[in-house]
Amino acid sequence: MDLAVMRRLSIPFDLYNISYENWDSEIDVMMKQILETDEERRARIYPVVLNEYNPVWLDWYLEEKANLERLIGTENIIRIIHIGSTAIPGLTAKPTVDIMLEVNETTDLDKMIAALPSPEYICLNEAALTVPTPPPHLRFIKGYLPNGFAEKVYHIHVVYTGDDDSRDKILFRDYLVSHPEAAVEYATLKRKLFKDYEHDRDGYTEAKGALIKEILGKARDII
């Protein structure tokens, strides 16, 4: 019961197992965590996680799509698209559902931000984004609890209609769906990189860049 209550806290916390009276080792761990920086803590509690493909990811996408339409209003949305590795059947992926939320340049972004309640939705603007994104430089993340990931985790990428980067994300997804050999190559790279980048999410993303660029080149050639 106590653990269940703690996991509902809205502030960061750590758990220490002293059921075996292993005080010395737990105190060592405790001291390391007390002295770690905010960046080190984020890297520890939000690591790169790789799972085999799970068809339930499509259900998670559809559930969140309905949430976004309800909260923001369909009149303020051009389209909502499932992108990223969880949108590619059979592909090994981080169990994070990437969603593209396409809006017009006239959309009131402040109203959109207000419509997605905090702390359930965490808004990342241009200053908070660690990976460059095109205008409107806005992303929402959901499922990041004070002490780690929730069962369902989402990255919601807000984009303007006609954005080149957005078209590339769709093109990349569609190419991997129709070219299983490329998907296998991509999955193999992910597993290899995981060993070195488990606690460096940005480094993991950057290290995939060369292969993603190569696959995109092939995809553009057949348009």
Q: Are strands 138-145 and 96-103 parallel, antiparallel or unpaired?
A: unpaired
pLDDT tens series, the chain, 223 aa: 777 777 666 666 777 777 777 777 777 767 776 767 888 888 899 999 999 999 999 999 999 999 999 999 999 999 999 999 999 999 999 999 999 999 999 999 999 999 999 999 999 987 778 777 888 999 999 999 988 999 999 999 999 998 888 999 999 999 999 999 999 999 999 999 999 999 999 999 999 999 999 999 999 998 7
Q: CA triplet 84, 88, 91: central angle to 5 degrees?
A: 100
- Record the tokens describing residue 95, joined without a space: 């169990």
Q: CA 50: distance to chain centroid?
A: 12
Delineate the domains of the chain, giving CATH numbers in brackets: 2-45 (no CATH), 56-221 (3.30.460.10)
Place of tokens 């799509």: 65
